[in-house]
A and B are shown apart, each in its own frame.
Chain A
């Protein structure tokens, strides 16, 4: 393959596109781990759930309500799907996860892993694993833009922009606001923060809800690009966990930056040596663990 600057820029752009999904997903994991000490293996399944809520809202909800003309359109789905999935998350946290905070990480991991298999199994039973198309892309986002070095679909450009905005919004919320400082304080010393009259259990529940809402949001944004498939979560989640390990568990900025960077590394690998594209991230994970066992942005 002939390499030129256009080709490299184009691949970086595509890598960035994958990178924003990695960033959104690993950000949610980081937020949840930071606050709850739970390694949320159900994250991929909830990402898939977000995409399915959008899909079903568009295709099935109207007929179900007896109003065949009624659709939850794309813009509404961007808000509704994360809310629905956040509710599911709150339910999971309130009924199950909350019992596991005091015990070893391994229990949370096993529980969420099991949940992921159950959710995925249910959807595999009812939906085509080759994927179902989500045709709700708004007309204003259809078509392509000429970036000079490549033709790029408008929708992908939008997906990069909105995802970056959500990522940095989350960072701002956690690091620069009063609510964020309470959250971080609650992580450090829950009983002391509670003594100040702050409702820490509520904060914890909301954090889990927010973390999984991020996954669902990523699912909705991804739905028009990829087919909505019961396996879409399990396909991406392994890579996302590698991103989290490289970035350092629990670091918010770390997971954003690492997600974006690894997306681009993967993009470049696809031109330079395509067969290595799906292993390059794990290779980097090994390297980082050897040199900096806590991850690039992690604290020892």
Chain B
């Protein structure tokens, strides 16, 4: 019996480590881009294989070569665990001659890899992680935070929701760096904007049953239930809030980080009317539509802001190498900063010294089923917030090497 139990316990341990992915790549004398993302877990619909496809599209569109040398894309699964992410990145930097790492869907992973990049002088571009620590406490001269952060998202969404009467808030927060940071920043905006926070409850990452937490939110009487989580957690929480009659009872659900894939997963019936901040929507203008339709042909899904961000950042990185005439990280960072980023993804974008890629953000609203004309016709953009308004001013930040 004892032996058997040991085996079961071993099995449990194995399950929790499941899916150790591997990536190959040996050659030198190439520009190598490593896409480190969540390939199989709770965030894989947001980034995952789609991010790899986006990076490969950028390389192909650039011509496959830069300064006469081949560009290669490799990928691996960081499993949303910081130790696995930094181990993989270390292997890439030390043995596989990877020049730049992009992706990183989880703030814990992003902070760990960005630190490693700083130590080894490699550029690390986070397109999915949210925590503002990446450009403040843990900022790196080689770190780029490209798509959104936990300041810009609530800055755009929370103020709109409060203006519409959502004065009292209760938070359901994913219990790790990203959730904490998102909740803290949102709470700040709520208070500054004349709102009040009535309480919060922490839940583990990848929770399937939110009913207990939702009941606590319900009994708090708060007008708005703020979800400081993402991906599958967000989807389950919204679905169950509806099931328990919370939305029908007059409380509003506000997602602080919502992806297109989440809205798709919920369906318009459930999600209609929801307002949230986004950095990108495929059907926003002609350029975004054109790129997204190409992406759709390859993957069968419209891109999330994250996947679009991976393409845009990879493209800009390659342009920076060309401009700098070298893939030396210091020179590339300088060139990266020197060029404006204006493409189908980013409007009025530029890279700040602290690593924030400042660009316009949008307030989106989920369409009613009657307004939608196709399976991916899900959102309307109701407001554009200029980058300098949406992102935290550097003067309020705490990045050690930025002179105030």
Instruction: List residues of A whose CB falls within 8 A of some B CB.
Output: 1, 7, 10-11, 14-15, 17-18, 39, 41, 105-106, 109, 113, 117, 120-121, 124, 128-133, 135, 144, 150-151, 153, 155-156, 225-227, 229, 231-232, 234-238, 241-242, 244-245, 249, 267, 270-271, 274-275, 277-278, 289, 293-294, 298, 300
**Set of chain A residues within 8 Å of B202, measured between Cβ atoms:** 274-275
Measured CA separation A245–B11 after assembly (Å) = 12
Contact of A231 among B9, B219, B232 (CB under 8 A): B232
Check B236–A249 contact: CB distance below 8 A: no
Check B201–A227 contact: CB distance below 8 A: no
Measured CA separation A77–B208 after assembly (Å) = 22
Contact of A153 among B14, B212, B231, B243 (CB under 8 A): B243
Instruction: List residues of B whose CB falls within 8 A of some A CB.
Output: 1-5, 7-12, 14-16, 18-19, 40-42, 44-46, 48, 175, 199, 201-204, 206-209, 211-213, 215-216, 219, 231-232, 235-236, 239-240, 243-245, 261-262, 264-267, 270, 301
Contact of A133 among B1, B232, B244, B265 (CB under 8 A): B265
Measured CA separation A237–B15 after assembly (Å) = 9
**Set of chain A residues within 8 Å of B10, measured between Cβ atoms:** 109
Of B2, B10, B209, chain A has the most CB atoms within 10 Å of the CB of B209
Offer 14 A-B interface pairs, CB within 8 angstroms, sorted by A.
A41-B15, A117-B18, A120-B40, A128-B301, A129-B45, A130-B231, A151-B245, A226-B209, A227-B232, A234-B18, A270-B213, A275-B175, A278-B204, A298-B1
Task: Given A249-B8, A270-B212, output 6 extra A-B contacts at Cβ < 8 Å.
Answer: A109-B8, A129-B48, A153-B245, A227-B265, A229-B232, A300-B1
User: Across chains A and B, which 4 residue pairs bring their CB atoms closest together, nearest first?
Assistant: A270-B212, A130-B265, A278-B204, A130-B45
Check B208–A133 contact: CB distance below 8 A: no
Check B213–A238 contact: CB distance below 8 A: no
Known: A1-B216, A274-B201, A289-B5. A131 touches B209 (CB 8 A): no
Known: A128-B261, A131-B265, A238-B16. A14 touches B211 (CB 8 A): yes
Check A231–B42 contact: CB distance below 8 A: yes
Check B8–A241 contact: CB distance below 8 A: yes
State how many angstroms separate the Cβ of A196 from the closest Cβ of chain B. Answer: 29
Q: Which residue of A lies closest to B49 (CB)?
A: A125
Measured CA separation A300–B8 after assembly (Å) = 16
Measured CA separation A128–B236 after assembly (Å) = 13
Measured CA separation A133–B240 after assembly (Å) = 12
**Set of chain B residues within 8 Å of A106, measured between Cβ atoms:** 7
Check B15–A245 contact: CB distance below 8 A: no
State how many angstroms separate the Cβ of B39 from the closest Cβ of chain A. Answer: 8
Known: A144-B244, A241-B12. A274 touches B7 (CB 8 A): no
Check B11–A113 contact: CB distance below 8 A: yes
Measured CA separation A135–B333 after assembly (Å) = 49
Known: A1-B199, A131-B236, A245-B9. A144 touches B216 (CB 8 A): no
Check A153–B261 contact: CB distance below 8 A: no
Measured CA separation A15–B215 after assembly (Å) = 13
Measured CA separation A105–B215 after assembly (Å) = 43
Contact of B212 among A11, A113, A129 (CB under 8 A): A11
Known: A11-B212, A270-B213. A293 touches B7 (CB 8 A): no
**Set of chain B residues within 8 Å of A236, measured between Cβ atoms:** 208
State how many angstroms separate the Cβ of B119 from the closest Cβ of chain A. Answer: 32
Check B4–A105 contact: CB distance below 8 A: yes
Check A17–B211 contact: CB distance below 8 A: yes
